[in-house]
Structure 1
Amino acid sequence: MGGAPVARRLAELSRRELIRRRDEARIAGEVEYEFRHALVREAAYGMLTERDRRVGHALAGDWLERAGGADAMALAEHFEIGGAPAQAAEAYLRAAEEALRGGDLAAAIARADRGIGCGAAGDTAGRLRRVQAEAHVWRGDLFLAVERGTEAIERIERGSIAWFSAITQVVLATSKLGQLDELERWTTVAASAVPTTDAQSARLVCLANGAAMLTVVGRYVEGRALIEAVERAFEDTHARDVAATAQLHEARSYYAICTGNLVAGADRMEAASRAYEQAGDRRNACSTRANLGVAYTELGDFERAESMLREAHQESDRMHLHELKLSSGANLAQVLACRGKLAEGRAFAEAAASASRQAGAVRTELFARCYLAKICVALGDLEAAEDEARASVARSQSAPTLGVQAYAVLARALLGLGRVDEAVRTATEASSMLESFGTLEEGESLVRLTVAEALAASGRQHEANAAIASARAALLARADKLSDPTWRERFLRDVPDNARTLELARQWLGG
């Protein structure tokens, strides 16, 4: 049928108010019509035979694909109903990636499932699973993230952008699950792979993520080596990708914080946050703001830390970033406790601990229970403090550096319960673990202080004096890394464990 007869038919249908011309066409340069009423549309569709529907959808899909600018989901559904499953799977992949970029994690997972249901195979199936892995990481479905990410890695071309991205998701999920050997294994796989021509940035993002995750679990040498590898690659690359730059800033921040340079860590985390904002990555920008709140907690700026963690907690809830909501809530509990808001802090810690356990997020559960135990000690609920501290210690193999603090908190609960000998043994064990790592991302002052107080409580004052002298020296060495005198003063004065260390040193040692 020629153009003129079609135009006459359309005009007649429009005159009869069955269809109407759209004011704005969705595809540039085209004239588009739509049914005036949904009932008319459904009645017309119902008059088609099954074969006519299939042919019509296939023709519509082919035309829309050639015309360009069509909605990916509409295209996918046309191809699926039109009996073109391979084309449908590709369109569902585009739709899933669009949903992921737009922050609709549930839609990303569902659209990818529809693509898989169309019989997607090979690279397409792998990329669909990669989308799901990333969405599951942010939703806190960590076991599913590992499963989907591993499926993706097996199907996608080695060394490609999507392949490195899939490994990144597995690295993140295994670190949160406390699967440290798997974390290191996958990071090694990524480091040994040759990237395709366009995948250098994706490789750097993957390695920087690996560096950050290895650092926070106490594998400082491996983390530092990966950071240096990424830095060398940056020196050899003229183009500066914003995402890779942001992730390198974040890895450097973790390393600085874990090795005692808190101000440098905060500065680099700020740089990471700005870079993520520049890249339009709202999820990682929110995550870095939460991490900044943790850094400011360690520095003693509790007001700023509370503000940033509340913002991150609320924003992660709005974006359905369940795992980030749990970790920011647990860290907020710690800040609230430092500000004397013990009841509210306890509520946040309990909620984070319970939900993390259900999600299998071992690392988050560990520090949530550790903070809960500290709050219970402050409230005088020592039996609950012991229970929570022991639960935290039981998970310490999955997050070794955080586990050191858990032992110290358990020792404090035991001191409060009058079980001094047991407290000394537990505090000494924490001290030995601290020495094996050298430094911790948090809780270092608490460990050294607890050893001194436990020894004093057992009547071994001479040993206690030596312990508090050592604690003071280590504390001042960390403070000397803070070049800004304002930060240094706040760190020593406002962080309770630091102030207590200096006060006991004055009382016991004089001067």
Structure 2
Amino acid sequence: MAALLGDERATAVDELLADLIQRELVAPRSERRFAGEHEYTFRHALVREGAYAMLTERDRQLGHGLAGAWLERAGEPDPAVLAEHFERGGEGARAARWHARAARRALMANELTAALTAVDRGITSGAEGELAAELWATRTTAEHMMGNHAIAGSAAAEAMRLSAPGSLNYCRGLGGMIRSALFLGRFETLSPAMSQLLAIEPTNETRGELVWAMQGVVLSLLFGKGLRDMAAPILERLRAIAPGAAEEDPMSAAEMHSTRAQWELHVNRNPEAAVLQSQAAERLLQLAGNRFNQGFAAGESAMALMMLGAFEEAHARLLHAVELAAKDSVCVTFCRFLRCCLLVEQGMPAEAVTEAQGALEAEKARGQSIIFHGFENVLAAALLSSGQLDASERMLVAAGAGASGYYWMDTEARGIRASLLLARGQIADAIRESEEVIALCRSAGVYPLRHTATLLTRAEALHAAGDIDAAKLAIREARDDLLARAACIEVPAYRESFLTRSPANARTLALAAAWLDGARCHDRAITAGRSPPVV
């Protein structure tokens, strides 16, 4: 009130407030939001609304503008409150600035709908230049988090158009464009994006966004195209610009750990090392207050734990990831995919079928993406495991198995198809398909989750064809690969569960013992060398 009427009328304001308190229309607030200030509140919402309705439109606008200015000086902590006052006060530029801050705050809190609402209001308020670019960059991230990757890609292009090359928002937009290419399979955009990315010299302001963008490039090259050798120098570049000390920039350090976790799991094929990297990422993201990426890190940890045969731990991490994630976000979808995989690994294919079918229906509205193809694959695998061979084949055919354009998904699908061919008794086809997939993975140096199962399928198919010598050679190769990987696992309980609880791993050791010389696989696992296996 004093701000509205001026300091010279402060005494009159005090008298008016005393009268309103005596008439029980307003009351002093027991808890103060601003130190050194006396604060009051209406006793009833109807009184507040009635008083507001008595103001002329001009007075309302003036009052909101003055209130916003006072709150801004006083240090109002909620940017949405300031944005609301300036917007109603007719100060579009100031409103847009606070809407941008409100959007970023909501994004960090996993309040995605609120973030997008703030973005829309900021743009409508007349944001220009870098401020408009900031709003579009925030939209990019929020839409990605909600699984709307095509919309996110368009927003990323707009952020880059409005910002100066190499600026913070340009880097945010570039990272968003790379993520869209990854999720939508538009890898033709990756090469120019990489050139733009590598031409940018990192600054303290842009380093975090560049790390995020480079992570997207590494994952796109690995999972999208199976190009380990091209991804390796990008990973080294990422390591070079990531902070030396985690406390300097926990977000960037977390992205580095997350990228290394994927490399350990799918290139080095060391799930224990992947767990450690994912857990490090999760701790740093908690420090940074980023719940969304923390949920993803927990999900990545669950994937690696599943590969270790630590199913109960994996399930617990998935529950934790879902608790952290925003409702209906892509993180929840990712966790749902991992739950389907976990159910198959635990020998619960019927439950996996039900879960995957429901997820596919939910994902149809978002269009086909890498996660959509993942659900198609896991549904085909679950149907196969439950003995529904015809249904599994129909799923693979409908999904265009092996022809999606995603290296990781295609090798997974072809491995499933090889197992299906074996189950159908199409032995020669099973041998050919499994050998082609194995050769493709060896050449790429990037391995899908089912690689051990594909090695096993080849051995069993050769045995079924009567080529016993070749079958023994194949099962020996699969066993030696498995034992070399087990020797890299330091925790004995994880090493044991890796060898005995994973169905493909346990069957590989059993067949090797039966077909070869009854080799004591567990003893060999303990004494094998620690060099990463070459498959």
TM-score by shorter chain over 0.5: yes
User: 1:134–1:288: structure 2 CA closer, same or farther, 3 Å change rule?
Assistant: same
Give the AA of the match of 1:192: A
Say which of 306, 310, 314 aligns to 2:319. 310
Say which of 241, 254, 268 aligns to 1:233. 241
Task: Tell me the CA shift for residue 23 of structure 1.
Answer: 2.5
User: 1:274–1:462: structure 2 CA closer, same or farther, 3 Å change rule?
Assistant: same
Say which of 67, 86, 97 aligns to 1:79. 86
- For the residues of structure 2 that align with 1:41 and 1:485, how far apart are their CA atoms? 67
- For the residues of structure 1 that align with 2:414 and 2:322, how far apart are their CA atoms? 27
Partner of 1:222: 230
- For the residues of structure 1 that align with 2:235 and 2:442, how far apart are their CA atoms? 24
| Structural mapping, 1:161-172, within 5 Å | 161-172=168-179
- For the residues of structure 2 that align with 1:473 and 1:50, how far apart are their CA atoms? 80
Give the AA of the match of 2:262: Y
| Structural mapping, 1:459-470, within 5 Å | 459-470=466-477
Matched, 1:24 2:31: yes
- Residue by residue over 1:285-310, the C-alpha shift from the partner in whole angstroms, topping out at 9 and shown as x without a partner, is 22111111111111222222222223
Partner of 2:281: 272
* SS of match in other structure, 1:359: coil
Deviates further, 181-190 or 108-117: 181-190
Whether the 8 Å contact between 2:294 and 2:321 is mirrored in structure 1 is: no
- For the residues of structure 1 that align with 2:336 and 2:274, how far apart are their CA atoms? 21
* SS of match in other structure, 2:365: helix
Task: Tell me the CA shift for residue 113 of structure 1.
Answer: 0.4
Partner of 2:511: 504
Structure 2 residue ranges without an equivalent (≥5): 1-7, 519-535
List structure 1 runs of 4+ shifted beyond 6 angstroms: 235-239
- For the residues of structure 2 that align with 1:70 and 1:504, how far apart are their CA atoms? 65
- For the residues of structure 2 that align with 1:76 and 1:271, how far apart are their CA atoms? 37
| TM-score normalised by the chain length of structure 1 | 0.91
Deviates further, 283-292 or 165-174: 165-174
User: 1:310–1:20: structure 2 CA closer, same or farther, 3 Å change rule?
Assistant: closer
Matched, 1:252 2:260: yes
- For the residues of structure 2 that align with 1:442 and 1:53, how far apart are their CA atoms? 62
Partner of 1:42: 49
* SS of match in other structure, 1:158: coil
- Residue by residue over 1:344-379, the C-alpha shift from the partner in whole angstroms, topping out at 9 and shown as x without a partner, is 222222223333343235221222222222221121
Q: Identity of counterpart residues, as a percentage? A: 33
Task: Tell me the CA shift for residue 282 of structure 1.
Answer: 1.8
* SS of match in other structure, 1:2: helix
- For the residues of structure 2 that align with 1:70 and 1:459, how far apart are their CA atoms? 75
Give the AA of the match of 1:258: H
Task: Tell me the CA shift for residue 474 of structure 1.
Answer: 3.0
User: 1:356–1:278: structure 2 CA closer, same or farther, 3 Å change rule?
Assistant: same
| Structural mapping, 1:94-173, within 5 Å | 94-173=101-180
- For the residues of structure 2 that align with 1:201 and 1:313, how far apart are their CA atoms? 25
| Structural mapping, 1:167-182, within 5 Å | 167-182=174-189
Whether the 8 Å contact between 2:243 and 2:249 is mirrored in structure 1 is: no
- For the residues of structure 2 that align with 1:306 and 1:313, how far apart are their CA atoms? 11
Partner of 1:284: 293
Whether the 8 Å contact between 1:402 and 1:442 is mirrored in structure 2 is: no
- Residue by residue over 1:227-282, the C-alpha shift from the partner in whole angstroms, topping out at 9 and shown as x without a partner, is 21232335778973211111111111111111222222222112112222222222
User: 1:235–1:286: structure 2 CA closer, same or farther, 3 Å change rule?
Assistant: closer
Deviates further, 230-239 or 452-461: 230-239
User: 1:395–1:488: structure 2 CA closer, same or farther, 3 Å change rule?
Assistant: same
Deviates further, 71-80 or 262-271: 71-80
Deviates further, 323-332 or 163-172: 163-172
- Residue by residue over 1:2-26, the C-alpha shift from the partner in whole angstroms, topping out at 9 and shown as x without a partner, is 2112211222222222222323333
- For the residues of structure 2 that align with 1:239 and 1:12, how far apart are their CA atoms? 54
* SS of match in other structure, 1:409: helix
Whether the 8 Å contact between 2:265 and 2:271 is mirrored in structure 1 is: yes
Whether the 8 Å contact between 1:310 and 1:332 is mirrored in structure 2 is: no
Whether the 8 Å contact between 1:404 and 1:447 is mirrored in structure 2 is: no
Say which of 434, 441, 448 aligns to 2:455. 448
Partner of 1:15: 22
User: 1:328–1:237: structure 2 CA closer, same or farther, 3 Å change rule?
Assistant: closer
| Structural mapping, 1:173-192, within 5 Å | 173-192=180-199
Task: Tell me the CA shift for residue 459 of structure 1.
Answer: 4.1
Deviates further, 118-127 or 465-474: 465-474
Give the AA of the match of 1:274: R
- For the residues of structure 1 that align with 2:106 and 2:247, how far apart are their CA atoms? 28
- Residue by residue over 1:385-439, the C-alpha shift from the partner in whole angstroms, topping out at 9 and shown as x without a partner, is 1122334554654421232121121122233334444434433332332232234
* SS of match in other structure, 1:345: helix
| TM-score normalised by the chain length of structure 2 | 0.87
Give the AA of the match of 2:59: D
Task: Tell me the CA shift for residue 115 of structure 1.
Answer: 0.9
User: 1:44–1:309: structure 2 CA closer, same or farther, 3 Å change rule?
Assistant: closer
- For the residues of structure 2 that align with 1:324 and 1:160, how far apart are their CA atoms? 28
- For the residues of structure 2 that align with 1:238 and 1:354, how far apart are their CA atoms? 41
* SS of match in other structure, 2:35: coil
Give the AA of the match of 2:236: E
- For the residues of structure 2 that align with 1:354 and 1:238, how far apart are their CA atoms? 41
- For the residues of structure 1 that align with 2:202 and 2:238, how far apart are their CA atoms? 13
| Structural mapping, 1:353-502, within 5 Å | 353-360=360-367, 362-394=369-401, 396-502=403-509
